[in-house]
Amino acid sequence: MIGLGQHQKEDKGVFRVATYNLENYLDGTSRKGCVKSTESKAKIRECIRAITPDVIALQEIGSADTLQELRASLASERLEFPHWEYLAGADENLHIAILSKFPFAARLLHTEDGYALNGSKYRVRRGFAEMDVRVNPMFSFTLFAAHLKSKNEDAEADASALRLEEARLLRGKMETRLKETPDARILVCGDFNDTEDSGVVRAIAGSGKGRLIDTRPVDKAGTVAWTNYYEEKDRYERIDYVFMSPAMAGCWLPEKSGVFELPDWRLASDHRPVVAAFASR
């Protein structure tokens, strides 16, 4: 588990990728009827500053204006992300965003993917971001960012069945990359809204030579750490992940990776961020 301030000293040749569900980072324009408080926003920025990620995937960001407000606020606190992407899918309130210190060599925003289930057609609600990130002239990787269907039941279908179909679509996009380039460096991260023993997470991981490797963030006792407090069920779960292809795993630094530990974390979000560090060799 990563403690506060552990990343303050820069490590030459090391970069960090994080994923963080911000829990309804919304403003007054949202139809959801809730606005992120000033105190909660400040705690989120404190957390991001302490992690000092080079790339961070965000879930549950509201309007494009809320993303720019967050970027500007971080910049005023001496943490700048000159490169960014905002993905608005079918969900009218909650969206995906990526902030990066590194430029994007290419970007694909998948917002129109759909599938059929029990005779009905559905659209992936939040889409998938597929970004080629250039760390330096000799090192790049592909980042997939996702926020899968929530546990909230759909009026017409089982939530877990919908989530599984989204997971299969996401896996298909990674398989396309791996078929083209078997040794591709790939990260897939985000809120998968399911536990590691679920069919959803297994579908994303895949099998065989293209099986993705779970960074499995641990706590101080060496136990795999939870990432989310599920208030409705009053339980702690691990539903946020950073998975990597075998080629990317060769650069992974597990001792510098984990779930980020921040005092009073719940003021920021019901999720804790997951951080994975890599050597750019």
Does residue 13 have a pLDDT over 90? yes
Identify the CATH class of 15-279. alpha beta
- Euclidean distance between CA atoms 75 and 59, whole angstroms: 20
- Euclidean distance between CA atoms 268 and 219, whole angstroms: 20
CB 239, CB 191: distance < 8 Å: yes
In the chain, domain spans: 15-279
pLDDT in tens, 97-134: 999 999 999 999 999 999 999 989 999 999 999 999 99
Q: Which two tokens stand for residue 229?
A: 């407090």
Does residue 6 have a pLDDT over 50? no
- Euclidean distance between CA atoms 178 and 124, whole angstroms: 22
Predicted TM-score (pTM) above 0.85: yes
Does residue 71 have a pLDDT over 50? yes
- Write out the H or E segment, with its range, that includes residue 238: none
Q: Which two tokens stand for residue 62?
A: 């509201």
pLDDT in tens, 24-59: 999 988 888 899 999 999 999 999 999 999 999 999
Cα 125–Cα 59–Cα 15 angle in degrees, nearest 5: 130
Query: Average pLDDT for residues 74-87, to the nearest whole number?
Result: 98
Does residue 8 have a pLDDT over 50? no
Q: Which two tokens stand for residue 80?
A: 């700048």
